[in-house]
Structure 1
Amino acid sequence: MGAWGNAGGFYAPIYLGWGKEMALSDSAIRGAKPRAKPHRITDSQGLYIEISPAGGKLWRFKYRFAGKEKRLALGAYPEISLKDARERRDEARKLLANGIDPGEHKKAQKASALDLSANTFEAVARKWMALKSTKWAQSHTAKIMSRLERDVFPWLGKKPIKTITRPEVIATLNRILDRNAIETARRVGFNIRQVFDFAINEEIADRNPALNISSALPSHETKHRAAITDIRQIGGLMRSIDSYQGSFVTKCALRIAPLTFVRPGELRSAEWKDIDFETKRWTIPAAKMKSREPHIVPLCSQAIEVLSELHQLTGGGKYVFPGAHDRSRPMSNNAVLSALRRMGYGKDEMCGHGFRAMARTVLDEVLHIRVDYIDHQLSHAVKDTNGRAYNRTAHLQERHHMLQTWADYLDALKDGGNVIPMTFVNK
Structure 2
Amino acid sequence: KELHRAFPTASRFTLDKFVDTRLPALTDKEKIKEFIIDLKMDNKLDLSTKRAIYLQILCVNRPFNTVSAKWSDIDLENKIWTIPANEMKTKSSHTIPLSSYALKILKEQHMFKIINSPFVFPALNANGHLHRDTISKAIRNLGGKNRYSGIATSHGFRATFRTICSKSKAELLNLGISEETIESVLAHKELNAVKRSYERDKATIEQKAKLMQWYGDYLNSIEPLGI
Q: Which residue of 2 aligns with 1:397?
A: 206
Aligned-partner Cα distance in 2 for 1:405–1:376 = 15
Amino acid in structure 2 at the alignment position of 1:320: V
Q: Which residue of 2 aligns with 1:364?
A: 166
1:382-421 matches, within 5 Å, as 382=190, 387-388=195-196, 390-392=199-201, 394-415=203-224
1:321 to 118, 121, 145: 121
Instruction: List gaps (5 residues or longer) in structure 1.
Output: 1-168, 187-213, 417-427
Instruction: List gaps (5 residues or longer) in structure 2.
Output: 173-177
SS of residue paired to 2:195: coil
TM-score scaled to structure 2, two decimals?
0.82
Amino acid in structure 1 at the alignment position of 2:187: S
Q: Deviations over 1:371-422 (max 9, x none)?
A: 21111100012489x8245324832101101100111111111139xxxxxx
TM-score scaled to structure 1, two decimals?
0.45
Structure possessing the higher relative contact order (Cα contacts under 8 Å, 6 or more residues apart): 2
Contact 1:295–1:392 (Cα < 8 Å) also in 2: no
Contact 2:51–2:109 (Cα < 8 Å) also in 1: yes
1:283 to 68, 71, 82: 82
Give yes or no for the alignment of 1:240 onto 2:19.
no
Q: Structure 1 residues 383, 298: CA separation in 2 closer, same or farther (over 3 Å shift)? A: farther
Aligned-partner Cα distance in 1 for 2:201–2:120 = 22
Give yes or no for the alignment of 1:252 onto 2:46.
no
Q: Which residue of 2 aligns with 1:374?
A: 182
Shift of 1:333: 2.3
Shift of 1:314: 2.3
SS of residue paired to 1:270: coil
Shift of 1:273: 0.5
Aligned-partner Cα distance in 1 for 2:218–2:15 = 43
Contact 1:225–1:354 (Cα < 8 Å) also in 2: yes
Contact 2:141–2:149 (Cα < 8 Å) also in 1: no
Contact 1:372–1:382 (Cα < 8 Å) also in 2: no
1:287-302 matches, within 5 Å, as 287-302=86-101
Q: Structure 1 residues 363, 323: CA separation in 2 closer, same or farther (over 3 Å shift)? A: same
1:341 to 134, 137, 140: 140
Q: Deviations over 1:125-166 (max 9, x none)?
A: xxxxxxxxxxxxxxxxxxxxxxxxxxxxxxxxxxxxxxxxxx
Work out the percentage of aligned pairs sharing the same amino acid: 27
Aligned-partner Cα distance in 1 for 2:122–2:203 = 31
Aligned-partner Cα distance in 2 for 1:301–1:313 = 19
Amino acid in structure 2 at the alignment position of 1:322: P
1:35-50 matches, within 5 Å, as none
Contact 1:283–1:296 (Cα < 8 Å) also in 2: yes
Shift of 1:315: 5.0
Per residue, is there more helix in 1 or in 2? 2
Q: Specify the structure having the higher radius of gyration (Cα).
A: 1
Aligned-partner Cα distance in 2 for 1:251–1:241 = 8
Q: Structure 1 residues 391, 405: CA separation in 2 closer, same or farther (over 3 Å shift)? A: same
Aligned-partner Cα distance in 2 for 1:342–1:397 = 37
Q: Structure 1 residues 383, 228: CA separation in 2 closer, same or farther (over 3 Å shift)? A: same
Aligned-partner Cα distance in 1 for 2:140–2:90 = 29
